[in-house]
Structure 1
Amino acid sequence: MRLINILFVFFFCTVAAQKSLPLDTLKLKEAKDMLADDYGNLYIYKNKDFSLTKYDSLGKQLGKLMLTVPYKVQTVQNPLSVPLFSENAQEMKFVDQNMNEIQRIDFKQKFGFIKMAYAEDLQQLWLLDDSTKRLIQYNFRNNTTINSYPFDASFDDLMDLLVFENKVYILTRKHIRVYSLKFEKLFEAPLENGKRFRRENEVIVVIADNSIFRYDPEKGMVKIFGDPDAQIVDKNILSYFEIKANKLYLYSLEKIKETKLQTEPEAQPKPTEPPSEKPIEEVKNGEGDKKVPEEKAPDNTLQKLLEDAGKVQNVGV
């Protein structure tokens, strides 16, 4: 019964919070990836022509970037400076809110083979150099290497990299791993079809194909959103987004929270009454007759008196 109540609450929250956004299905049909910034703008990446197109929440195109080789969009949380990394071109570029290139960083002249790059801020990059098996902290503003750490991990199925508070988060096709800067493994868990990290203040989020997880140091990976029928999912600070059947849907975090608060009391199991201090004798003389507890006797007496009073009224006394 409790499971049914939980499923009902989840279904009710989903229906109440779902909203279809007016984005043309043709624009979503060949989408390889989708990202949402914290202003509600959407970025659609198509692997067919290596294009990255920006739309507002009403489906109006705000900008488009045509690329010559595949690029991985790291994050769009700051739409004024969106980092993109290309393993093929061995470079990272930054684009502004109009999808115009504002800076390009070439790794070929200074490093070996960079397998993955993470832009920590507007000055520093973290680079995984596959040729030297090192994690490099690089200041691209003044072209200097700050630190270099031995990092002899397998980079064959690497999907994303994030460095935060002296911890290195590695996402592969089937796992998430957390290391210290000394290459000590702090955490590992299976995670299918992970795509990229997203950091929200102190919280590390993992975006997968049709699910979103939050990393909890004590509980591990906690699923916070999922839809097995979704083609692509993403989130910003206010909402979850998903593409399903070539249509775009939004799930408001605030509405989901409000709906859960309204329905949670109904989903809670009723507290059980404490047992009576006096045990009830269930069997008498082996006949299986149940004995009525003594505390219920006053109720029967009161009912009898009421019946007698009714009889007296009927005879006119």
Structure 2
Amino acid sequence: MDTLKLKEAKDMLADDYGNLYIYKNKDFSLTKYDSLGKQLGKLMLTVPYKVQTVQNPLSVPLFSENAQEMKFVDQNMNEIQRIDFKQKFGFIKMAYAEDLQQLWLLDDSTKRLIQYNFRNNTTINSYPFDASFDDLMDLLVFENKVYILTRKHIRVYSLKFEKLFEAPLENGKRFRRENEIILVVADNSILKYDPEKGMVKFFGDQDAQIVDKNILAYFEIKANKLYLYNLEKIKETKLQTEPEIRKETPSAVVEPPVDKPVENEVKKAEEEQKESSEKAPETGLQKLMNEISEVQVSGI
């Protein structure tokens, strides 16, 4: 991508179609690009907004603590719905859109966690939740568990405000849920929550400015350039290096390298080119469907 598009990026998100969303704090803009760098849409905001997720590009939720509202935008970055919290609640510190009709709200004024149906404007449940909201970064509710991400920790609670898990975690930005898997996207790493092992890092680069992932690949911005890492490559590297490292440090978390020697990449590229020349050409949609099928077969 053009380095000018990545310059001053505060955050980056990738949907499962390979589209990128670049958020800039300088002008509070959210810009959507396709995989070739072509701009598909741009949203200019008047106050800071937090993008929750872009996994469903047809309805992207954004929350603003300053404006006390949540809005949803479509695939062309046009606003399709706005929810104003000021008239019905106290001060909402964080909001999580569970689906297309329910929100979970952390009300700082009443210290309660509220389950709210915004389609019919009704409160479904309200739970006492007397936690510190000062350094809150993100919120996620899944299977009767409340996941709280702060600047330095991740905490997991039951709906009865019982603490189930806590671990230090530096520079965490947001949660990402993939079916049953709970991920944390930090500044330069992506970690998986494991109830037994704790937080397991399976992608990271100390030199990266921003990282993210979709169902097919990892993305990172480093030195104002965009890098993409194949999901299968990272998995294969981890499987190859894990047994040897575990002999020395059984409890250590394996962090697979994100770079491979240039010679290996060139050799693999030549092999892939040779294979592709022997196959009939695929359309872009066929290629995407094949890649998704391969990932599903692999159990990702």
Same fold, judged at TM 0.5 (above): yes
The answer to whether 1:145 aligns with 2:126 is no
Structure 2, unpaired ranges of 5+: 248-300
* Counterparts in 2 of 1:269 and 1:115: CA distance versus 1, 3 Å: closer
| SS class of match (2:6) | helix
- TM-score w.r.t. length of structure 1: 0.76
Amino acid corresponding to residue 55 of structure 1 in structure 2: Y
- Pick one of 9, 25, 29 that aligns with 1:51: 29
Amino acid corresponding to residue 49 of structure 2 in structure 1: Y
The answer to whether 1:84 aligns with 2:42 is no
For 1:199 and 1:28, the matched residues in 2 are separated by 25
The answer to whether 1:247 aligns with 2:225 is yes
Amino acid corresponding to residue 112 of structure 2 in structure 1: R
For 2:42 and 2:182, the matched residues in 1 are separated by 29
Q: CA deviation at 1:38?
A: 0.7
Q: Deviations over 1:243-284 (max 9, x none)?
A: 0000000001023334556x56996999xxxxxxxxxxxxxx
Match of 1:179 in 2: 157
* Counterparts in 2 of 1:266 and 1:137: CA distance versus 1, 3 Å: closer
Q: CA deviation at 1:180?
A: 0.2
Larger deviation: 157-166 or 252-261? Answer: 252-261
The answer to whether 1:194 aligns with 2:183 is no
Q: Deviations over 1:134-168 (max 9, x none)?
A: 00000000000000000000000000000000000
For 1:152 and 1:37, the matched residues in 2 are separated by 34
For 1:259 and 1:220, the matched residues in 2 are separated by 22
The answer to whether 1:168 aligns with 2:149 is no
- Pick one of 2, 6, 10 that aligns with 1:32: 10
The structure having more radius of gyration, on CA atoms, is: 1
- Pick one of 185, 189, 211 that aligns with 1:211: 189
Counterparts in 2 of 1:12-23, with a 5 A limit?
23=1
Amino acid corresponding to residue 252 of structure 1 in structure 2: N
The answer to whether 1:222 aligns with 2:200 is yes
For 1:210 and 1:130, the matched residues in 2 are separated by 30
Give the share of equivalent positions with the same residue, in percent.
93
Amino acid corresponding to residue 114 of structure 2 in structure 1: I
- TM-score w.r.t. length of structure 2: 0.80
Amino acid corresponding to residue 144 of structure 2 in structure 1: N
* Counterparts in 2 of 1:221 and 1:266: CA distance versus 1, 3 Å: closer
Amino acid corresponding to residue 136 of structure 1 in structure 2: I
| SS class of match (1:237) | coil
Amino acid corresponding to residue 181 of structure 2 in structure 1: V
- Pick one of 35, 38, 44 that aligns with 1:66: 44
| SS class of match (1:160) | strand
| SS class of match (2:17) | coil
Q: Identify the structure with bigger relative contact order (alpha carbons < 8 Å, sequence gap 6+).
A: 1
Q: Cα RMSD between the aligned structures?
A: 1.7
For 2:152 and 2:212, the matched residues in 1 are separated by 19
For 1:64 and 1:265, the matched residues in 2 are separated by 43
Match of 2:76 in 1: 98
